[in-house]
Each structure stands twice: as structure tokens, then as C-alpha cells.
Amino acid sequence: MLDTIRKNGVILAVFAAVTTGVTALVNEVTKPTVAKQMAIQEKTLLDQVVPPSLYDNDLQKECYLVSNPVLGDDQPHPFYLARKAGQPVAAAIETIAPDGYSGAIRMLVGADFSGKVLGVRVTEHHETPGLGDKIELRISDWITHLSGVTIHGSQDSHFAVKKDGGDFDQFTGATITPRAVVNETKRTTLFIAELRQKINTLPKCGALRHE
């Protein structure tokens, strides 16, 4: 009886060790592929908010870290700098609208340094399906209407939802969600304009990004 228990215990231990080893091996083998796919997805998203025709550098490799409450929290946020012939022309920042209907809305905002919005995409949210989820490009083209608009300072009343006196539609039965996205786009775009003179002082992303 004891011999059988010992034998089964050894078999289970060996099986567990082999399984753990195989899992670790598979993880190591697939790690480069996973990293490559993540980099491709990241580039695709960046191309949607900063048109590739505007710059000639590697946007993913020119990544800096910035911290400011206007970005939704006190954590460092990636700031991707676009250059043309060596000169800064635009940037994209990962930002957060903290006041969505169902919580924080994570976004990627691209803009030039004169206050012009180049593109906005929502990367994560928990808004109500059928109402607030129209901020997603796969659901609606609403978010594309923010692109190409220049914001003339923090008091620009046009860059707001119509219920607040601005130019952008809200959703039927859901104003909080689009308001949060529009307002965070405004804050982030103006923040990007301010960073033009501070680029040389910003820390690089380093190992946090795909380099």
C-alpha cells in the first residue's frame, strides 16, 4: 500500500516537473513572437492617431515618459515624439479620461504642437454596451470627428459636446461618456503643445517599450 502511494507520488512529481519545464520552454520560445505582435499592434494604433506622412523617424523608439494630472493619474505616461527632418512636429500620448460613466477610459491622443488634434482612439473602457461604447471605432465613427480640429486654448468653447455648447454630438441617452472623451482630448492636446519646449528634459521610456 505504502509502496503504491510512494510510486504514485513520484509519478505525479515527475509529471509536474515535466509540465512546468515544458510551459517555461514554450513561454521562452514564444516570447519574441508575442513581443513582435505587440509592437505591430502598437504601431498600427499610433499610425491611426499620428499619420505616418507627417514624420520620418521611428515613433516607437522615440518614446519618453511624462507625468501630469491632466493625463488622468499620477503615473508616468508614454509620450511618442514624431519628427520630420529632425524637427519635432507632433506627438501621441497614452492618457486617461477618469470621469467616464463606468469609470476610467484609456485613450491614445495624437496632436501637433499648435493644438491641432490629429487622431484619438480609445484603448480600454467599461462603458455601457449600446450606449457609451460608441466611442469605439469598431462601433461608430464618432471619435474620428475629433481629428483635424484645432483647439484654441483651454477656454475654447467649441471643443465640447453640444450639450455643453460645443460642436460635437453626444450620444442618445449617454452624454457623460462622450463628454469625458472630448474633455480629455482637449486637456491632452493642450498638454502636448506645452511639451514642445521640454522635450530635451524628458526621460526616455527605455526598457518599458519595444526597443
Q: Are 83 and 56 in contact (CB under 8 A)?
A: yes
Q: What is the pLDDT, as a whole number, of residue 133?
A: 92
Residue 57: inside a domain: yes
Checking if the pLDDT of 95 tops 70, the result is yes
Q: How many CA atoms lie within 13 A of 77 on its CB side?
A: 23
- The answer to whether 187 and 181 are in contact (CB under 8 A) is no
- Tell me what the mean pLDDT of segment 65-90 comes to: 96
Is 111 within a domain?
A: yes
Q: Which range is most confident: 16-20, 27-31, 61-65? A: 61-65
- Output the pLDDT for position 42: 84
Q: What percent of the chain shows pLDDT beyond 90?
A: 72
Mean pLDDT of 30-39: 54
> Does some domain include residue 171?
yes
Q: What percent of the chain has pLDDT over 70?
A: 79
> 34 lies in a domain?
no
57-83: average pLDDT: 96
Has residue 12 been placed in a domain? no
Give the range of the structural domain holding residue 126, as residue numbers without chain letter. 49-208
Residues 94, 123: contact at Cβ < 8 Å? yes
User: What is the reported pLDDT for 36?
Assistant: 54
Domain count, the chain: 1
Give 166-197 pLDDT, tens digit per residue.
999 999 889 999 999 999 999 999 999 999 99
pLDDT of 27 reads: 52
Give the pLDDT score at 31: 46
* Section 123-141 average pLDDT: 93
> Residue 17 falls within a domain, yes or no?
no
- At 113, the amino acid letter reads F
Highest mean pLDDT among 16-25, 27-36, 84-93: 84-93
- Average pLDDT of the chain, as a whole number: 86
Does residue 37 lie within any of the structural domains?
no
In-domain check, residue 99: yes
